[in-house]
Amino acid sequence: MTLNPTAQNYRVAVNAYEAGRPSYPADIVAALPLQGARCVVDLGAGTGKFTRLLLSHLAPGARLVAVEPVAEMSAKLASEGKVEVINTRADAIGLETGSVDLVTCAQAFHWFDNEPSVAEIARLLRQGGTLGLVWNVRDDGTPWVKALSVMIEKYAGDTPRHQSGRWRWILQDPRFALDKEIVQDHPHRMSRQGVFERIVSTSYVANLPDAEKAILRKKTDDILREAGLGDADEVVFPYVTRLYLLKRV
């Protein structure tokens, strides 16, 4: 298998991704079975936003492996030297069979919701191990957030996305049993500039020509102005965080 071409656009969106994307709620991390875990794999680790949270909760001596196919995304995480980083695809992780207690996929599983990748995850996890799927989802129930989503939707094409729901087939996969689902509001405070960085951190927007991005910048400013946020130094961007914990059976 090859990396999805749209995912490769993240090569030019590293700074925007780090600046514009939210972290994750403490309660979501606390719900993961990290106590006693000897080996954890963060799959699709990106710039390491979720990886660093895992690291802060693991016991000394536990192994944490960040897997990210786009080396530009994981470069800073790798340079910090606190986490083992492997630049490879989800279907070719290559760790020892049954050696992993927990696999997490934060903001990532929709990119590799295919049989080869799930087979590799199932191979790595010990019996009774856990797969944690996490997404921060824009809350389109807020009108100005919905307007931003509609604005960029025309660029999406067939890009894999959480919103498609295609990934949900794993919830019925016989190799796993859904153990828990948690849904939590997650407001994210950011600068007004950060809102635009959130837009250009989207895979199918990141590689647009500068002229097209300039148009999106103006439209973003117009949407914020119409929402009464045009002069705000700080914007609260509403998200909903979803966590699915699946046991390896």
Average pLDDT over the chain reads 95
pLDDT surpassing 80 at residue 246: yes
What local confidence, expressed as pLDDT, does residue 13 receive?
86
DSSP per position, the chain: ----TTGGGGGG-HHHHHHHS----HHHHHTS--TT-SEEEEET-TTSHHHHHHHHHSPTT-EEEEE-S-HHHHHHHHHH-SSEEE---TT---PPTT-EEEEEEES-GGGS-SHHHHHHHHHHEEEEEEEEEEEEEE-TTSHHHHHHHHHHHTTTTT---GGG-GGGGGGG-TTEEEEEEEEEE--EEEEHHHHHHHHHTSHHHHTS-HHHHHHHHHHHHHHHHHTT-TT-SEEEE-EEEEEEEEEE-
Band of the pLDDT at 1, cuts 50, 70, 90? low
Which of 10-14, 151-155, 189-193 has the weakest average pLDDT? 10-14
Per-residue pLDDT tens over the stretch 98-135: 999 999 999 999 999 999 999 999 999 999 999 999 99
pLDDT surpassing 90 at residue 71: yes
pLDDT surpassing 70 at residue 8: yes
Band of the pLDDT at 167, cuts 50, 70, 90? very high
What local confidence, expressed as pLDDT, does residue 12 receive?
82
Band of the pLDDT at 164, cuts 50, 70, 90? very high
Per-residue pLDDT tens over the stretch 10-67: 888 899 899 899 999 999 999 999 999 999 999 999 999 999 999 999 999 999 999 9
- pTM as predicted: 0.94
pLDDT surpassing 70 at residue 176: yes
What local confidence, expressed as pLDDT, does residue 181 receive?
98
Band of the pLDDT at 144, cuts 50, 70, 90? very high
What local confidence, expressed as pLDDT, does residue 9 receive?
75
Band of the pLDDT at 3, cuts 50, 70, 90? confident
What local confidence, expressed as pLDDT, does residue 11 receive?
83
Per-residue pLDDT tens over the stretch 206-233: 999 999 999 999 999 999 999 999 889 9
Mean per-residue pLDDT, 180-193: 96
